């Protein structure tokens, strides 16, 4: 029983993706981040991937890409106990609620460090998209390659307004665009808002950034609604992440229901 680790995302996916795909909802973040990394032609740094091998098949995994906390699948007590050896330099990591006690005990034993919950992310799944009144001016369309410069400039603006967000532009804009996963709302032939979603993997997509540079959120909300509708045409699971009561309320009002909670643990520096 041991952790196998690699910086080769292809090797990781060959070993761990069959396990992760058994429960694509629980493992949504690992699957989407690993697939995202596998499609980069020039990755911004070195990522690390691991899987727990009790037999010839993986039964747990983690994904750690630069500037992000490592994300863990559901863990056994044995895999949690040895996790500190595989993630020696991290101060934050994301785990399933049922593994919080085992992971915090492992960090205390191996490193004499106290891990405490610092955030909680709720994963919601679309049950039945509620109808909504869309703006009467303009219309949605699928973004294409000609929209890339504008959408990248919007992403830069989003990051200026939300410097705490560590998302990669390729994850939010480039790869979804190539897969037909970005909706823009146009008025008089001019794009004024957008909503993106991750490429489909293991029968699921996750809704991403909905953004309107100016004038409120009416058109971004409409683009998000259309994006949900289009995703539901092909994906078995349409998911979204919420990190605040405000966004949670918005998503449930649209027809999403909570299915999973992810806990972010952080080393207590006190």
Dump pLDDT digits (tens) for 209-257: 999 999 999 999 999 999 999 999 999 999 999 999 999 999 999 999 9
pLDDT at 253: 95
Alpha carbons 70 and 62: distance in angstroms, whole number: 7
Higher pLDDT: 51 or 89? It is 51
Residue 160 has pLDDT above 70, yes or no: yes
Q: Could you give the C-alpha distances from 78 to 57, 83, 267, in angstroms and in order?
A: 16, 9, 21
Residue 24 has pLDDT above 90, yes or no: yes
pLDDT above 70 covers a percentage of the chain that reads 100
pLDDT band at 166 (very low <50, low <70, confident <90, very high): confident
SS3 of 184-252: the string is EEEECCEEEEEEEECCCECCEEEEEEEECCCCCCHHHHHHHHHHHHHHHHHCCEEEEEECCHHHHHHHH
- For the chain, the average pLDDT equals 95
Show me where the domains of the chain are located.
Answer: 2-120, 129-254
For residue range 169-224, list pLDDT tens digits in order.
999 999 999 999 999 999 999 999 999 999 999 999 999 999 999 999 999 999 99
pTM reported for the whole predicted model: 0.93
pLDDT band at 68 (very low <50, low <70, confident <90, very high): very high
Residue 85 has pLDDT above 90, yes or no: yes
Residue 270 has pLDDT above 90, yes or no: no
pLDDT at 269: 76
Residue 1 has pLDDT above 80, yes or no: no
Residue 83 has pLDDT above 90, yes or no: yes
- Which CATH number, 3.40.718.10, 1.10.10.10, 3.40.630.30, 3.40.366.10, labels domain 129-254? 3.40.630.30
pLDDT at 232: 96
């Amino acid at each position: 029983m041991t952790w196998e680790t690699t910086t080769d995302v292809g090797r990781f996916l060959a070993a761990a993706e069959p396990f992760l795909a058994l429960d694509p909802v629980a493992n949504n973040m690992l699957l989407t981040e690993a697939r995202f990394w596998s499609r980069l032609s020039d990755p911004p740094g070195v990522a690390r991937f691991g899987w727990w091998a009790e037999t010839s098949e993986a039964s747990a995994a983690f994904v750690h890409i630069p500037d992000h906390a490592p994300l863990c699948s559901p863990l056994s007590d044995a895999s949690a106990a040895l996790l500190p050896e595989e993630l020696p330099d991290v101060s934050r990591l994301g785990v399933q609620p049922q593994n919080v006690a085992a992971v915090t005990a492992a960090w205390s034993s191996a490193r004499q460090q106290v891990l405490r919950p610092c955030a909680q992310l709720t994963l919601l799944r679309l049950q039945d998209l509620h109808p909504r009144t869309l703006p009467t001016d303009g219309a949605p369309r699928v973004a294409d390659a000609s929209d890339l410069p504008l959408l990248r400039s919007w992403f830069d603006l989003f990051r200026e307004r939300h410097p705490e967000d560590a998302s990669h532009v390729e994850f939010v804009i480039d790869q979804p665009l190539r897969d037909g996963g970005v909706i823009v709302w146009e008025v008089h032939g001019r794009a004024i808002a957008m909503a993106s979603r991750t490429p489909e993997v293991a029968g699921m997509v996750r809704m991403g950034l909905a953004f309107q540079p100016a004038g409120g959120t009416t058109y971004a909300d409409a683009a998000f609604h259309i994006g949900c509708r289009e995703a539901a045409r092909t994906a078995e699971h349409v998911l979204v992440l919420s990190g605040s009561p405000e966004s949670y309320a918005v998503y449930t009002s649209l027809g999403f229901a909570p299915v999973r909670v992810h806990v972010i643990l952080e080393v207590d520096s006190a």
